Amino acid sequence: MNEKSGTQKSLLSYTGKGNHKNRFIDIKRERNKRAKYIVDVPKPFLKWAGGKRQLISQIDEYLPKTFNKYIEPFVGGGAIFFYLLPKQAILIDINKDLINSYNIIKNEVSALIELLKKHKNESEYFHQIRNIDRNPVVYNKWSDIEKASRNIFMNRCCFNGLYRVNSKGQFNVPFGKYKNPNFCDVENLKAVNKALKNVVLVSASFEKCLDFAEKGDFIYFDPPYVPISHSSNFTSYTTGNFSNNDQYRLFEVFKTLDNRGCKVMLSNSYSDFILKIYKNYKINVLQAMRVINSDGTKRGKIREVLITNAY
């Protein structure tokens, strides 16, 4: 994809959504001006549960107009990072496989692409690669590039792009049976490589952001959501779950950053629990399309919140 078509494609895919079309198009143009320096416009290289791509046009309205560093402590697939393309960023996630993949794209993208090209979208092969972590002696000998290549391949070829591990930390999502999954998107991987040039990547729990955040920085939190129904309680991005106690710990971090003079934004479900904790902040309501029945076949609109401090 050349520069022009990449820019046009992004513009086309975002215009017309939401009520703030004109402002949104302006921001998009500004972003694409910056994106010129990185040739193609990068997009998330992984499918990620709870990814924010579909909500960008609604979230855009609440983004601060200016900020210093950008910090995202639950980065996942990084939809908002790739939308903003900030000059300076710190991306944090507790998922080590995920942060390793970002690091390898940042530092060794050519070697990674060569390894990705070797994978095959076949059930038996997929399960062979997936089950390598059942043998820690073999898996621990793998290089970080091999691990990143396995992670990206499995993400694109497994069922629904889920990241799910069992209590032993073994990846257990079955083969996705997709016709032509793009597990080696060379152009995007190269664009992501350039976008990550000045980015600090950290595998840690969200509190780590306190080591980096200073007055004027923008911090966006997109944690695992408080469950509001049986079908929405998917929170196992790693072996641990995100409890209500973790939500309270997160609220303490949010408050500390607010007091520090940072610009803070947080997504979560529209639940009494969240509405109560953040009652002294600005609570905005967004509409998301979600699976709404337990067998995963019916989608509908569901409310969620986007909370900010005063900025």
Ligand X SMILES: C[S@@+](CC[C@H](N)C(=O)[O-])C[C@H]1O[C@@H](n2cnc3c(N)ncnc32)[C@H](O)[C@@H]1O
User: At 299, phi and psi to the nearest 5?
Assistant: -110, 150
Query: Applying CB under 6 A, which part among 57-65, 68-76, 177-185, 295-303 lies near ligand X?
Result: 68-76
Report the candidate in 298, 304, 302 with the shortest Cα–Cα distance to residue 285: 304
Query: Applying CB under 6 A, which part among 90-98, 117-125, 134-142, 296-304 lies near ligand X?
Result: 90-98
Nearer to ligand X, 143 or 239 (CB): 239
Query: Applying CB under 6 A, which part among 77-85, 126-134, 153-161, 164-172 lies near ligand X?
Result: 77-85
Query: Applying CB under 6 A, which part among 58-66, 73-81, 104-112, 147-155 lies near ligand X?
Result: 73-81
DSSP string covering 222-266: -PPPPP-SGGG----SSSS---HHHHHHHHHHHHHHHHHT-EEEE
Among 40, 60, 93, 217, binds ligand X (CB under 6 A): 93
Dmax over CA atoms of the chain, in Å, equals: 56
Among 18, 51, 216, 227, binds ligand X (CB under 6 A): 51
77 binds ligand X (CB under 6 A): yes
Tell the residue number behind the tokens 């905005």, with chain if given: 284
205 binds ligand X (CB under 6 A): yes
CA atoms within 13 A on the CB side of 256: 15
Query: Applying CB under 6 A, which part among 134-142, 170-178, 184-192, 218-226 lies near ligand X?
Result: 218-226
Among 24, 48, 102, 126, binds ligand X (CB under 6 A): 48
74 binds ligand X (CB under 6 A): yes
Nearer to ligand X, 5 or 229 (CB): 229
Q: Is 38 helix (H, G, I), strand (E, B) or coil?
A: helix
Among 94, 195, 199, 266, binds ligand X (CB under 6 A): 94
Q: Is 66 helix (H, G, I), strand (E, B) or coil?
A: coil
183 binds ligand X (CB under 6 A): no
86 binds ligand X (CB under 6 A): no
Nearer to ligand X, 206 or 218 (CB): 206
| Number of Cβ within a 10 Å radius of residue 74 | 23
Report the candidate in 56, 62, 63 with the shortest Cα–Cα distance to residue 16: 56
Encode 288-310 in three state secondary structure: EEEECCCCCCCEEEEEEEEEECC
Nearer to ligand X, 42 or 73 (CB): 73
Q: Shortest gap between Cβ of 234 and ligand X (angstroms)?
A: 10
Q: Shortest gap between Cβ of 13 and ligand X (angstroms)?
A: 16
Bridge partners, 165 (sequence order): 171
Question: Please, what is the end-to-end C-alpha distance for the chain in angstroms?
Answer: 37
d(CA 127, CA 1): 32
Judged by the rule CB under 6 A, the positions of this chain that interact with ligand X are 48, 50-52, 73-74, 76-79, 93-95, 205-206, 222-224, 237-238, 242
